[in-house]
Amino acid sequence: MRKTFLFICILLMLTACQREQAYEPEEINPDIDVCMICNMSITAENYATEAILKDGTVHKFDDIGCMFEFMKQEDKENIAKLYVRDIETGEWIELEKAFFAYDRDYWTPMNYGVVSFASEENAKKYIEKEGKGQLWTYDQLLQHKWGFEQ
């Protein structure tokens, strides 16, 4: 009986160790969180982004452009997940699944001009409301030349 119990405990521990880590985003605390790249306080929470490394480390950014600057420096093999927030709802979205509105004149915390949305429809509505901008996908973000002068 004791051996069976011990065997089950070991089996459960091994199973738990093999589970894939969730890599979920952390909530932003505007009182203490600062952007890893520009060192500015993250007060405009719906513009915040996060990069989660495979070791569980979470890096927070005040603007999507800062996250892309970080991605230039970080070994891509170390990155587990990248998140942006829907500008209207604050909902976290995996970067690859989001839709984006871009215009160099859109206000964002560091003036990169990229705004994130959970749906293509809402991104289009934002562009229409602003009277300017382009609908972008994740692939277009990867091709963009990031920098303040854009």
Indicate the pLDDT class of residue 4, thresholds 50, 70 and 90.
low
Domain count, the chain: 1
Burial pattern 85-120, b for ≥16 Cβ within 10 A else e, equals bbbeeeebbebeebbbbbbeebebbbebbbbbbbee
Measured CA to CA, the distance from residue 47 to residue 64 in angstroms comes to: 7
Domain of 39, in residue numbers:
22-143
Residue 8 domain-assigned (yes or no): no
Measured CA to CA, the distance from residue 150 to residue 134 in angstroms comes to: 14
Residue 58 domain-assigned (yes or no): yes
Residue 2 domain-assigned (yes or no): no
Predicted pLDDT of residue 102 = 97
Residue 76 domain-assigned (yes or no): yes
Residue 4 domain-assigned (yes or no): no
Q: Each residue of 80-126: pLDDT tens digit?
A: 999 999 999 999 999 999 999 999 999 999 999 999 999 999 999 99
Measured CA to CA, the distance from residue 63 to residue 79 in angstroms comes to: 18
Residue 119 domain-assigned (yes or no): yes
Q: Each residue of 128-138: pLDDT tens digit?
A: 999 999 999 99
Residue 5 domain-assigned (yes or no): no
Residue 82, helix vs strand vs coil: strand
Residue 34 domain-assigned (yes or no): yes
Per DSSP, the residues of 86-142 read -TTT--EEEGGG-EEEE-TTS--TTS--EEEESSHHHHHHHHHHHT--EEE-HHHHH
Q: Each residue of 38-70: pLDDT tens digit?
A: 999 999 999 999 999 999 999 999 999 999 999
